Amino acid sequence: MEAAQAFNWPITVYYEDTDAGGVVYHSNYLKYFERARTELLRNSGVSQQALLERDLGFVVRHLAIDYIKGAKLDDQLIVRTKISELRRASIEFCQDLVNNDGQILCKAVVKVACIHSSSMKPTAIPENIKSEISSDC
């Protein structure tokens, strides 16, 4: 697979995202990254709802995150998401949360596995979904 284009998803930091000091609480970065991955898939024509109707889903299998600098209340940020690896039953995403100056505040590598929702067992990503995802990479 050639170098992937980044998918950019805007995030605004709200009061509910922050701790008493006005800094984003650490677990909320995971929510930002999750939303951006969902929107990347949606933008590629992959509906999470349609997957569920087919008894399929994506679950996080592995996550590595590096908190570099805290985001603060009212910050306007971008989550940059790239698919770094597309395998038979998994997708690896590289994600950066950046501010308007392009400074990386947080980065993560997230590997998701495709599963049958009812059995929670791994399964191959359907070819039509792989081709939709690959066309945007």
- Identify the CA nearest to 98 among candidates 3, 4, 5, 10: 10
User: What does the radius of gyration of the chain's CA atoms come to, in whole angstroms?
Assistant: 16
Which positions are annotated as active-site residues? Answer: 19
- Identify the CA nearest to 116 among candidates 53, 63, 61, 62: 53
CA distance 64 to 70: 17
CA distance 59 to 77: 25
Token pair 């400074």 is found at 103
* Residues in the chain, total: 137
